[in-house]
Amino acid sequence: MNISAIIPAYNSAEFIADAVRSILMQTHPVLEIIVVDDGSTDATAEIVVNLPGPIKYIKQQNQGPSAARNTGIKAAGGDWIAFLDADDQWTTDKIEKQINLLKTYPSLALIAGDMTEIDHEDRIITQSVLAKHNLLEKFQHLNGKAIPNALSELVTKNFIPTGTVLVNKTTLIEAGLFNQTIRFGEDLELWARIATKYPISCIPEILMLRRQHGNNATQMTAALLDDLVKVMQSIKKTASQELKAQRINPARLVADAYASLGYWHFDNLNLFNARKAFSASLRQKPNKRALFYWLFCYLSPQMIATMRKIKNL
């Protein structure tokens, strides 16, 4: 069993060496470390080419992390793929734990795990993200077994941090790789496609340290919510029957995503965009709250601001 570790990197000079070292320190070695430089303009290239280990460096024009990961997958020589972002780190036994689980449950196509969030100075912000989202006990009870109704679990809460994933390369190819038209939530969209057809698992142990800082893509709220609509539309299109079998209404997924986008625009008094989003939500699945906000979008920003002041009195 050969494992290729893929690191997408963009202006990652500050942390890339730590990421690579965390792979080199694994108790179970990987076949190769593929660093895909997605158009960096800093010293990323200079740092990477001077690092030790079985590193394959690929430079490409800036296309985003999905394209960088796809480039790495296509170049990988391993039959299993692991991902790590350039500012994050694996725990030393991450790969060993996943391989041991595969020996117990060889039918698994993807194994994820828990992670700790750290700050710029490596101080712990969140010890367990699974515990933060009240999921730790659920996965502890499963103890590595394939997750029942994994698709419905994912669309309820994406419990798979990309940097913890170990996934079969053939499974990735058959699932279609990362959707490069989606910038935020592209990982959830791919994991959902995989969970629709293959057994997946989540180890309830810390496998990664994820760095939280101002450059994290998920802090760009408007763009994230817009792409969340695309993610849910894609999942609805490819997995409607499976969602229904797991008691999830596919139209409701899209409607809720549109509504979340509408709430964000409404909160920022972008009433035209909010009205469009609520209209789209209502077309997917009528609901009173979206209808209520859609009507309020016809008020003037001044009237809405006044009503907010009165409400807060």
CA distance 285 to 96: 45
Q: Which whole number is the average pLDDT over 238-249? A: 95
**Domain check: are 285 and 180 in the same one?**
no
Q: What does the pLDDT read at residue 66?
A: 95
**Domain check: are 213 and 225 in the same one?**
no
* Residue 234 confidence (pLDDT) above 80: yes
pLDDT band with cut points at 50, 70 and 90 for residue 219: very low
The residue out of 170, 188, 218 marking a domain boundary is 218
The residue out of 166, 189, 218 marking a domain boundary is 218
* Residue 301 confidence (pLDDT) above 90: no
DSSP assignment of 131-184: HHTT-HHHHHHHTTPPPTTHHHHHHH-----GGG-EEEHHHHHHHT---TT-SS
CA distance 245 to 162: 26
* Residue 33 confidence (pLDDT) above 70: yes
Helix (H) or strand (E) holding 203: strand 200-211
Q: What does the pLDDT read at residue 214?
A: 57
**Domain check: are 63 and 201 in the same one?**
yes
**Domain check: are 180 and 209 in the same one?**
yes
pTM: 0.90
Please count the structural domains in the chain.
2
Q: Which whole number is the average pLDDT over 29-46? A: 97
pLDDT band with cut points at 50, 70 and 90 for residue 302: confident
Spatial contact of 17 and 51, defined as CB atoms under 8 Å apart: yes
* Residues with Cβ within 8 Å of residue 268, at least 6 apart in sequence: none
Spatial contact of 210 and 161, defined as CB atoms under 8 Å apart: yes
Q: What does the pLDDT read at residue 218?
A: 43
What range does the domain containing 41 cover? Answer: 3-218
**Domain check: are 41 and 132 in the same one?**
yes
**Domain check: are 92 and 118 in the same one?**
yes
Q: Which whole number is the average pLDDT over 219-231? A: 85
**Domain check: are 179 and 226 in the same one?**
no
**Domain check: are 234 and 90 in the same one?**
no
**Domain check: are 173 and 74 in the same one?**
yes
What are 264-286's pLDDT values in tens digits? 999 899 999 999 999 999 999 99
The residue out of 165, 191, 218 marking a domain boundary is 218
* Residue 189 confidence (pLDDT) above 60: yes
- Residue 239 sits in a domain of what CATH number? 1.25.40
- Least trusted range by pLDDT, from 15-19, 25-29, 45-49, 287-291: 287-291
**Domain check: are 245 and 146 in the same one?**
no
Mean pLDDT, the chain, rounded, equals: 93
**Domain check: are 124 and 258 in the same one?**
no
